Amino acid sequence: MRVAFLVAPRGAEQRELTRPWKAVTAAGGNPTLVSTSAGRIQAYHHLDRADTFPVDLTVDEATATDFDGLVLPGGLANPDALRLDSRAVAFIRSFFDAGKPVAAICHAPWTLVEADVVRGRTLTSWPSLRTDIRNAGGTWVDEQVAICTNGPNTLITSRRPGDLDAFCAAFLAEFSP
């Protein structure tokens, strides 16, 4: 199982990157850190700087066909930066076009709104995104994990870091061959 983790150069919530990464590794999978810039990304613990992580591929080098699924970690700044980068939005959209599963947690569904892939789907997120999701044609629910199969692929979403155990279990079940 090869899984892309898409993050901006700055702002990913570290727990929402490292816990799913470890879950993929523990399941025998191969996680790959993809970003809009080469080098290292700066993760955060909410608003405080945390660790840095090396980028494996840029969005210009990676394609959806290289992966079995996509994980979108949250953090407030991370998805906000990604949704302003047309290459990142196109990378996300390519997973939907290819019918591959996508998992997003916390604020990450902002990128899904920008990619125009939430219409007709049920998802969850950090509560402040509910109006954005509804305005984009999605149905927002306040649940630990929402698994939506309405569309060309499966979409797995969770609300917050406290949902990480359920989030990881849900996306691993969908990403496994």
Q: List, by residue number, the catalytic residues.
A: 107
CA-based angle 145:121:79, to the nearest 5?
70
CB 138 within 8 A of CB 120: yes
Distance CA 103, CA 51 (A): 23
Buried (b) or exposed (e) across 146-171, using 16+ Cβ within 10 A?
bbbeeeebbbbbbbbbebbeebbebb
Number of C-alpha atoms within 13 angstroms, CB side, residue 144? 10
**80 contact partners, CB below 8 Å, separation of at least 6:** 11, 107, 110
